[in-house]
């Protein structure tokens, strides 16, 4: 009675509004399927397009998690989402979502934004599809530099994590700020186990030039609380 489709959709709604980790997609999908509830990337994509980003916290905003706590925390964020949530959903304390949100209040509306004044009109996570990822890829656009949202560049390919570690900081690496770093063979099979190798470092050659963000593509996973 607790792990229902509505409960999982509530979780996805909050995930998008808070700008949660891209790992959340993996965890929620695993939980849902274990409970016998079908879930795929289409659901996350649909919710992301309809739920704005409300939490003005890093890496998508300017505040930190402590500020979020003192602004009212998760209950306050969910209070802002009241019109979008399934309020009748039962929770683990025996009460409904609506019951749990009674008395919740936002104390700083710049940290936790109202729906009419979001940090971003779309959620913190987006699903991409194309020739490289016909079944879908996950990106956190709100944490990436906007200049990279539409981008074209030459690929710098690393065959595996050992190749990456051996070459990424080499002064001889042929890389520019427009390059696209690609890490192969780091997914569920290649890793194995899909480790958090998706956080490809910016090459030292570029860091020395003041570059702090470039396009990175991998079949590994990464913590979306870090950057795009």
One digit per residue, pLDDT tens: the chain, 228 residues? 899 999 999 999 999 999 998 889 999 999 999 999 999 999 999 999 999 999 999 989 999 999 999 999 999 999 999 999 999 999 999 999 999 999 999 999 999 999 999 999 998 889 999 998 999 999 988 888 888 989 999 999 999 999 999 999 999 999 999 999 999 999 888 888 888 888 899 999 999 999 999 999 999 888 755 554
Among residues 21, 48, 83, 223, which one is catalytic? 223
Sheet with 155-158, side-by-side order of all strands: 155-158, 180-183, 215-218
Q: What is the pLDDT of residue 227?
A: 55
Instruction: Please state, as a whole number, how many other Cβ atoms lie within 10 Å of the Cβ of residue 174.
Output: 9
Strand 215-218 to strand 180-183: parallel, antiparallel, or no bridges (unpaired)?
parallel
3-state secondary structure of 162: helix
Q: What is the pLDDT of residue 145?
A: 85
Q: Are 142 and 168 in contact (CB under 8 A)?
A: no
Rounded to whole angstroms, the Cα distance separating 27 from 15 reads: 11
State phi, psi for 120 to the nearest 5 degrees.
-150, 140
48 part of the active site: no
Q: Which residue has the tokens 């940290």?
A: 111
Q: What is the pLDDT of residue 224?
A: 58
- Cβ partners under 8 Å of residue 186, min gap 6: 160, 161, 194, 195, 197, 198, 218, 219, 220
Structure tokens of 1?
Answer: 């009675």
Nearest alpha-carbon partner for 86 in 10, 16, 12: 10
């Amino acid at each position: 009675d607790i792990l229902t489709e509505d409960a999982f959709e509530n979780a996805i709604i909050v995930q998008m509004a808070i700008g949660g980790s891209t790992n959340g997609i993996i965890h929620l999908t695993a939980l849902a399927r274990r409970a016998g509830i079908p879930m795929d990337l289409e659901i996350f994509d649909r919710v992301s397009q309809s739920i704005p980003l409300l939490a003005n916290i890093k890496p998508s905003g300017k505040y930190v998690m402590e500020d979020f706590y003192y602004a009212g925390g998760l209950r306050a964020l969910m209070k802002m989402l009241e019109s979008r949530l399934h309020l009748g959903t039962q929770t683990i304390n025996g009460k409904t979502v609506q019951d749990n949100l009674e008395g919740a209040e936002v104390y700083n509306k710049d940290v936790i934004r109202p729906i009419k004044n979001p940090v971003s009109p779309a959620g913190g996570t987006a699903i991409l599809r194309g020739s490289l990822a016909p079944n879908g890829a996950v990106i956190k656009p709100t944490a990436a530099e906007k200049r990279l949202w539409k981008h074209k560049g030459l690929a710098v390919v690393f065959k595996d994590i050992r190749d990456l570690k051996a070459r990424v900081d080499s002064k001889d690496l042929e890389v520019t700020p427009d390059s696209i770093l690609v890490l192969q063979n780091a997914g569920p099979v290649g890793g194995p186990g899909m480790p958090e190798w998706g956080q490809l470092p910016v090459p030292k050659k570029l860091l020395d030039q003041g570059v702090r963000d470039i396009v990175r593509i991998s079949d590994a996973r990464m913590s979306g609380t870090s950057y795009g």
